[in-house]
Amino acid sequence: MSDRFTLDRPNLIISLDSELAWGFRDEKDLPEDKIKCARNSWIRILDLFEEYEIPATWAVVGHLFLDRCDGIHREHPLGKDWFKRDPGGTIDENPSWFGKDLINHILDSKVNHEIGCHSFSHVEFGSAKREVAESELQLSIEAAEKMDISLESFVFPRNNVGHLDLLKEYGFTSYRGTKPVSKDGGMIKNTMRKGGIFLDYFTPLSIDHSIVSPSVDEFGLVNIPSSFIIYGFRGDSRSNLENFVYDPVLLKVKKEIDFLSENNGVLHLWFHPNDLTRERDFGRLKNILKYVKEKDPLEIKTMKDVRKEIVERGA
């Protein structure tokens, strides 16, 4: 049972699954292009947020708070097999697996960003044993505390939700939930996806909107559902569509922002810093941020900000 809230103003949230190489540690082959670009992309994204004065929630993998480790992590219940790709060493030796300097860049920004948690080593909570999830939370909190950072918002790796009671127990107050299933047009869109057409992004054919309503769950946590990922449409399919209709994701975002500005609620966009590997990727983000900044009275908030507003309204 949960209490759902419709905010009385249009709100935009941008959250980032900030992982560097950790997002791929269990994949057969590491995507070298994404890993190679990830650090530079992180800084360029921060620069864009600063240029347009837009705050975001950076959900950071806990291991990135470190600047060195042994690569084994004996204290973790999954053991050395889970960390077999962790090279250990220092941030200078293996910068794709550490990110203390990047987190400092967030802290040093003129924009008031939030730093949240994305687990310690990118474990999927929905399929993890309780002791594993607990270790992921504890290790993340300990690593963040060494940088005087208090973690309040949680983003589940691969959006695989689980162990919400542990989030509450370890002091978290909000999380990014999954996008609600659409009742209007959902069957049509799912059918078309099987044929390789992504109607979520092809604006002229998109049937429903992606505005969400936060809710308070049974544990007292604020669930702020995702709307959609702004870099989920890539590769040849994107290139072919852009030849005819410009950038379909940009059109989709503009459509949703226009709808949001006339209908109160939350538009929760998200992506990974390592999604941005080409200049056109940065161009998309820049165009989105520019459009967001021009919209009035759109309010741009972090997950922490929205949670605070809901708690105050419920008080």
**Helices (H), ranges, the chain:** 32-51, 79-82, 100-108, 130-145, 164-169, 186-194, 235-245, 248-262, 279-294, 303-314
d(CA 117, CA 142): 12
Question: What local confidence, expressed as pLDDT, does residue 232 receive?
Answer: 80
Give the type of residue at 70.
D
Contact 60, 115 (CB under 8 A): yes
Compute the mean pLDDT over every residue in the chain, rounded to the nearest whole number: 88
**Residue found under tokens 């705050």:** 55
* Polymer length of the chain: 315
Question: What local confidence, expressed as pLDDT, does residue 91 receive?
Answer: 97
Structure confidence by residue, pLDDT tens digits, 186-195: 333 333 333 3
Q: Say whether pLDDT at 214 is over 80.
A: yes
d(CA 88, CA 68): 7
Kind and range of the H or E run holding 69 = strand 68-69
d(CA 182, CA 179): 9
Q: Which structure tokens are listed for 43?
A: 């800084």
- The whole model's pTM is what? 0.90
As for how many domains the chain has, the answer is: 1
Q: Say whether pLDDT at 235 is over 90.
A: no
Structure confidence by residue, pLDDT tens digits, 78-114: 988 999 999 999 999 999 999 999 999 999 999 999 9
- Helices 32-51 & 279-294 angle (0-180, nearest 10): 30
Give backbone dihedrals phi and psi of 279, rounded to 5 degrees, phi first. -60, -35
Using CB atoms within 10 A of its CB, is residue 107 exposed (0-12), middle (13-18) or buried (19+)? exposed
Q: Which structure tokens are listed for 176?
A: 């990014």
Q: State mean pLDDT over 180-186.
A: 54
pLDDT range class, residue 181, cuts 50, 70, 90: low
Structure confidence by residue, pLDDT tens digits, 99-154: 999 999 999 999 999 999 999 999 999 999 999 999 999 999 999 999 999 999 99
Question: What local confidence, expressed as pLDDT, does residue 297 receive?
Answer: 81
Question: What local confidence, expressed as pLDDT, does residue 17 receive?
Answer: 98
Q: Say whether pLDDT at 202 is over 70.
A: no
CATH of the domain at 265: 3.20.20.370
Q: Say whether pLDDT at 239 is over 60.
A: no
Question: What local confidence, expressed as pLDDT, does residue 85 receive?
Answer: 95
Which residues, including other chains, have CB under 8 Å from residue 58's CB and lie 6 or more apart? 15, 16, 18, 106, 113, 114, 115, 116
The range of the structural domain enclosing residue 83 comes to 3-314
d(CA 94, CA 86): 9
**Rounded (5°) CA angle 134-212-44:** 70
Question: What local confidence, expressed as pLDDT, does residue 182 receive?
Answer: 57
Question: What local confidence, expressed as pLDDT, does residue 53 receive?
Answer: 97
Q: In percent, how much of the chain has pLDDT > 70?
A: 86
pLDDT range class, residue 223, cuts 50, 70, 90: very high
